[in-house]
Amino acid sequence: MSHFRIFRRFAAAVLASALALGTLTALPASASSAKADEIRQLLEQYHISKPTDETLDDAAIDGMIDSLNDPYTEYFSEEQMKGFSNLLEQTFVGIGIVMTEDDKIVYIEDVISGSPAQQAGLQPGDAILSVDGVSMAGKTIADVQRASQGVEGTKVKFGVKRGEQKLLFQVVRQTVHMPAASSKMMGDGVGYLDLDTFSSDAASKFAKELKQLEQQGLQSLIVDLRSNGGGYVDQAQLIASQFIDDGVLAHLLDRDGNDTPLAVQGTTKPYPVWILVNGGSASASELLSGALQDYGIAKLIGTKTYGKGVVQRLVPVPSGGTLKVTVQEYLTPNGNHVDKVGLQPDLVVEGSLEQLMAGFRAAGGRTLTLTLGKGSAVVNGVRVAQPGLVLKKNGVWYVRTKLGANVAEAMLSYDAKAKQIVLLRDSASFRASVKDGQAILVDGVSYLDVRLLAKWFGDVQWSAAGDGTVTLADTAAAA
Q: Is 342 helix (H, G, I), strand (E, B) or coil?
A: coil
Quick one: which of 209, 204, 268 has its CA closest to 238? 204
Element at 412 (helix H, strand E): strand 411-415
Strand order in the sheet with 439-442: 390-393, 396-400, 445-449, 439-442
> Widest CA span of the chain, in angstroms?
84
Q: CA-to-CA distance for 258 and 251, rounded, in angstroms?
A: 10
- Which residue is catalytic, options 184, 205, 308, 324? 308
Q: Which residue type does 356 have?
A: L
- Residue 270 is classified by DSSP as S
Quick one: which of 392, 363, 367 has its CA closest to 467? 392
- Which residue is catalytic, options 188, 294, 449, 474? 294
The yes-or-no answer on residue 199 being catalytic is: no
**What are the distances in angstroms from CA 461 to CA 113, 289, 377, 468?**
32, 36, 16, 17
The yes-or-no answer on residue 283 being catalytic is: yes
Q: Facing residues of 385 across strands? A: 376
Quick one: which of 361, 352, 355 has its CA closest to 187? 361
Q: Is 70 helix (H, G, I), strand (E, B) or coil?
A: coil
The yes-or-no answer on residue 289 being catalytic is: no
- Which residue is catalytic, options 17, 130, 241, 283? 283
- Find out whether 275 and 289 touch, Cβ atoms under 8 Å: yes
- For 252, phi then psi, to 5°, come to -100, 125
Label the pairing between strands 376-379 and 368-373.
Answer: antiparallel
Burial of 461 (0-12, 13-18, 19+ CB in 10 A): middle
Q: CA-to-CA distance for 328 and 427, rounded, in angstroms?
A: 54
DSSP H helices, 279-392, are 284-294, 352-362
- For 369, phi then psi, to 5°, come to -125, 125
What DSSP assignment string belongs to 272-287?
-EEEEE-TT--THHHH
Helix axes 34-46, 53-67, angle to 10 degrees: 130
Label the pairing between strands 368-373 and 470-474.
Answer: antiparallel
Of how many residues is the chain composed? 479
Q: Supply the residues annotated as catalytic.
A: 283, 294, 308
